[in-house]
Chain A
């Protein structure tokens, strides 16, 4: 058999040699420095990697439990993706705690709207509620990368593909260094327009609505821009308008 140190050492360490082959290789190692180096290198590499094994942090165990609890509570028909617990200043907090904080804040300020006026209003409310709870629809990754909003210093921090207002959507969450947040929904189909939406241009063009202190801007494809229907949720008119402009929407 030809002498091939790399292959022979691999078989030796991988335990694929027969007993007789192993004995012969053991004897060979005493006289062949090339094979000896091969074996020693591989053993050293293995030991180095095994030396950095870790125990999962306790807070991760808690987060996993909270995730499964939340998914169980929402049921298999409602598949929402909770964002990975990033607070506005970049500090990581458990998703459950973040959601609880949102609910407490909503209760104190009274901004959580519980009545539903109709399917279109309910859709806007859902988008705003998800924005407040730092959630995105779906549990899958979108096929399309997050649109670039870096001109506004907004960086994508999470994404999800799922269903919103019965429409398949790709959704993205952004934050900027000051903690401002934007949620962006993209869909091939038009988003439902609530009755109190305010047109930003000609009828049939972009519109804006407000819900629970948040601004919602929507634009449909026109002259190829935007290429898909977009829905932007943010904390104020200026932010969502700037985001829409950055995406090529003419908002007047």
Chain B
């Protein structure tokens, strides 16, 4: 009975968790594996103690599982110092960026997302892909809300520049 309730809760959040997993991993297959691993870990935790607020809790389990997997497999995507890199882009024309972003294909966006520093990528994925509020993301990441907003803001800008300039590359490699 308890497991049925867990399944009901997990299924209700599956789209959100899948989008989170997609943002944290490099492929749909890895995302599906991550969701399944999250399911198993969350079920164990659920049996010990049910969370008060399941959605952020499930996202936390997913995030920790992803971090653990990356650490163990040592395949964490290469990170670039997007902030420093952006410093050279000070003369960006905003209207041009808007036009360039109007017809992006999905894979380009996903590749660009993988190039962001991990903290920015996690924050953006939680807010813009999974739809959590800034307050919820702050809880999940155990960071002040202002810090979360700053990471999201910088990440969104970095993403816009990467996409505008076509600087995103495959396989998580940093731009050169």
Contacts and interface: CB of A to CB of B under 8 A. Distances in A.
Interface of A: 6-7, 9-11, 13-16, 36-38, 40-57, 60-61, 63-65, 67-68, 71-72, 76, 79, 81, 84, 92, 139-142, 145, 159
A10 B149 contact: yes
Given A40-B97, A68-B3, A92 B156 contact: no
B149 A60 contact: no
Contact of B156 (A46, A79, A145): A46
Interface in B89-108: 92-95, 97-98, 101, 104, 106
Interface in B131-152: 131, 134, 146, 149-150, 152
8 interchain residue pairs of minimum CB distance: A45-B156, A40-B94, A56-B18, A14-B149, A49-B128, A45-B159, A10-B153, A45-B160
A113 B4 CA distance: 33
B3 A71 contact: yes
A142 B156 CA distance: 35
A79 B44 contact: yes
Given A40-B95, A43-B156, A45-B158, 16 more contacts: A6-B154, A41-B92, A41-B156, A41-B161, A42-B153, A44-B101, A45-B160, A49-B129, A63-B32, A64-B39, A68-B43, A84-B33, A92-B29, A139-B44, A140-B41, A142-B72
B124 A49 contact: yes
Contacts of A11: 149
10 contacts: A10-B154, A14-B149, A40-B97, A41-B94, A44-B156, A49-B113, A50-B128, A52-B106, A54-B15, A64-B35
B69 A55 contact: no
Contact of B14 (A13, A60, A67): A60
B74 to A, nearest CB: 7
A50 B6 CA distance: 28
B157 A41 contact: yes
A44 B160 contact: yes
B160 A41 contact: yes
B109 A51 contact: yes
Contacts of B92: 37, 41
Contacts of A141: 68-69, 72
A107 B97 CA distance: 62
Given A54-B22, A63-B36, A44 B98 contact: yes
A159 B72 CA distance: 10
A68 B6 CA distance: 9
B contact residues, range? 35 or more
Given A37-B94, A61-B11, A139-B44, A48 B163 contact: yes
B19 interface: yes
Contacts of B158: 45
B125 to A, nearest CB: 8
Contact of A64 (B11, B73, B98, B146): B11
Given A40-B98, A46-B156, A60-B32, A10 B109 contact: no
Contacts of B44: 76, 79, 139
A134 to B, nearest CB: 13
Contacts of A92: 29, 32
A33 B131 CA distance: 30
Given A71-B3, A159-B72, A45 B155 contact: yes
B32 A57 contact: yes
